[in-house]
Amino acid sequence: MPQLYIGIMSGTSLDGIDLVLADFTSKPNLLSRCLLPFPASLQRELRSLAEPGDNEVERIGPVEYQLTECYAAGVKQLLQHANYQPELISAVGCHGQTIRHRPSQAQPFTMQLGNMHLLAALTGIRVIADFRRKDMAYGGQGAPLVPAFHQAFFARAGQNRAVVNIGGIANISLLHANGSITGYDTGPGNCLMDDWVSLHRQQPYDKDGVFSAEGKLLPRLLQQLLSDPFFQQRGPKSTGREYFHLPWLQQQLTGQEAPADVQRTLCRFTALSIANELQLPNLSEVFVCGGGVHHPVLMADLQQLLTPAKVKSSSSEGLDPDWVEAMAFAWLAQAFDQQRPGNVPAVTGARKACVLGIEYRP
């Protein structure tokens, strides 16, 4: 029987919903994919809910319903494009939309929006979701969860490799030559650059790195950003947009900086916060996935900082960089069905490896 799974990921960059149809019968095979942009009103509401505000419970209800309808529409579009019927799909692995992630509090919690009962009803397909809280119940950060998939796909015996996912937040997976794995969130990926270019250029992201390329580095600001306590912590650690957001950045500024100079500095800030965590002896290759792979200034910064390791797109290993996270949540749904652990305790800090997820039947 084919092992067909759908993965749904909508991340902290809030650029839309990534959906993939994957075949895990042998090695992971991406059969079809689609990106469903958020309606502007939903994107605004999700961005607002990612930061503390008023009357959040009343606002969550309709936002979650609309978000789930978008997930279901994306599944329908994906299956139509691939010419598959819903009954052929084993399950949908859905991450949900994170609006709060507080793993370091005395009573840690994480919250992802998405009515998974409704998603199962609308699609007619089993849904596996709520992947993070089981890990947190055993003392883990609940993030990042993608390294288990990175290990399955990218690890090579006898080689020190790394995988860097640069979405809204950046995370790394260190794939050691001896077969062990470590990893964690390194800090902002694209989120601050996206917020800044949106504020000053009314663009959703810094397309082709044009805005960054116009500016020059501001060393004082760069050091100030890197002095945040988050960067002094050792892994396991995780973070989100509720921590690194536009007001956090604006508190660091004098108001006299040229906008393009701030953008260039944010680009270097992302690169340095990643590279500082990848100073491994004999690191041979670094595979980049997520939206950051399309930012040429960021990729050039990473290559400069990580030489002699070669910085490459994950496409060099046959995996499209735009769909790695969605593939990972399809893989986690399969792991649930096979009762395989989906977390890596060395990455999240959990006391044990756990089967992750909850099943929702139509």
Number of residues that this document lists for the chain: 362
As a whole number of angstroms, the distance between CA 270 and CA 222 comes to 10
As a whole number of angstroms, the distance between CA 206 and CA 13 comes to 12
17 belongs to an annotated ligand binding site: yes
As a whole number of angstroms, the distance between CA 8 and CA 36 comes to 11
As a whole number of angstroms, the distance between CA 114 and CA 67 comes to 7
15 belongs to an annotated ligand binding site: yes
Give Cα separations from 361 to 17, 89, 127, 301, 355 (angstroms).
22, 13, 7, 46, 18
12 belongs to an annotated ligand binding site: yes
As a whole number of angstroms, the distance between CA 153 and CA 327 comes to 11
Q: Report the half-sphere exposure of 35 (CA within 13 A, side-chain side).
A: 10
316 belongs to an annotated ligand binding site: no
228 belongs to an annotated ligand binding site: no
Beta-bridged to residue 184, according to DSSP, are 172
284 belongs to an annotated ligand binding site: no
Residue 159 burial (CB count, 10 A) = 14
Q: Which residues are annotated as a binding site for ATP?
A: 11-18
Bind-site residues: 11-18
